[in-house]
Amino acid sequence: MTNLSVNLNKVALLRNTRNFAKPSVIEAAFTCIKAGAQGITVHPRPDQRHIKPEDVDALAQILTVEFNIEGNPLPEFLKIVRKIKPTQCTLVPDAPDAFTSDHGWDLATDGFWLRPIIRELKDLGVRVSLFIDTDLTQIKRAKEIGSDRIEL
């Protein structure tokens, strides 16, 4: 069965454009869960234009559903994931200044350095997903390097 995980980044983006804490990421998470969502997803980017590290911490304290943290496995991002140990971590190859994620990993070149990161996350009990393009070769490589899931 497919489960719905709602991404709260745009809620945080709207909040961050205002001078007060509304809309609330926490309230949005509760609303999504009450409506039947089985998971919550966030993407804490280095520029903190939407989800911020403190949002991730607050969500981790209250969530009773799957928590997916996605992002480029840069040192600050991995520090957050190691601390929170979410249900899932989706690794995304976006540049720190990218407006949005617009392409997947090229596992022919990136797979060798992603493999130990995937292993570390799995050793922490975190399920790992890779953001990849719709390419059967990439899908096969994702499994070969240890990914549990993929996001297209």
Where residue 78 sits, what CATH number does that domain have? 3.20.20.70
Asked whether 6 and 27 are in contact (CB, 8 A), the reply is no
Res 19: pLDDT: 78
Work out the mean pLDDT of the chain and round it to a whole number: 94
Cα–Cα distance measured from residue 82 to residue 127, given in angstroms and rounded to the nearest whole number: 12
Total count of domains within the chain: 1
Cα–Cα distance measured from residue 97 to residue 125, given in angstroms and rounded to the nearest whole number: 30
What domain range includes position 132? 5-151
Q: Which residues make Cβ contacts (< 8 Å) with residue 48, sequence separation at least 6?
A: none
Phi-psi label, residue 19: left if phi above 0, alpha if psi -120 to 50, beta otherwise? alpha
Res 101: pLDDT: 79
Residue 71 has pLDDT above 80, yes or no: yes
**110-122 pLDDT per residue, tens:** 999 999 999 999 9
Cα–Cα distance measured from residue 68 to residue 43, given in angstroms and rounded to the nearest whole number: 9
Res 21: pLDDT: 85
Across 53-73, average pLDDT: 97
Res 99: pLDDT: 76
**6-57 pLDDT per residue, tens:** 999 999 999 999 878 899 999 999 999 999 999 999 999 999 999 999 999 9
Cα–Cα distance measured from residue 149 to residue 65, given in angstroms and rounded to the nearest whole number: 18
In the block, tokens 């919550």 appear at 40
Three-state secondary structure string covering 45-93: CCCCCCCCHHHHHHHHHHCCCEEEEEECCCHHHHHHHHHHCCCEEEECC
Task: Name the band, by pLDDT with cuts 50, 70 and 90, for residue 126.
Answer: very high
**5-20 pLDDT per residue, tens:** 999 999 999 999 987 8
- 41 DSSP β-pair partners: 7, 68
Angle, alpha carbons 52-54-60 (nearest 5°): 110
Residue 102 has pLDDT above 90, yes or no: no
